[in-house]
Amino acid sequence: MSLTCPKCHGEMRQYERSGVVIDQCGECRGIFLDRGELEKLFEAEANWNAQQTPPAPQR
């Protein structure tokens, strides 16, 4: 079963990023998220940023 874009009615494809399934239209390239998925992406980004921050130097 394929999804249809609510904007342009093109065919949607699904892919996973950071444990979140994202629906993207192959025609207009619009991205559509289900409830709570944006918050999950924000959380994943915050966790990644926390891992990239070097520890503060000790005096």
Q: What is the pLDDT of residues 2-58, one digit of tens each?
A: 789 999 999 999 989 878 889 999 999 999 988 999 999 899 889 888 888 676 677
Global confidence as pTM: 0.65
What whole-number distance in Å separates Cα of residue 27 and Cα of residue 29? Answer: 6
Cβ proximity of 2 and 23 under 8 Å: no
| The pair of three-digit structure tokens given for residue 13, joined into one six-digit string | 């494809």
Which residues, 6 or more positions from 16, have their beta carbon under 8 angstroms from its beta carbon? 22
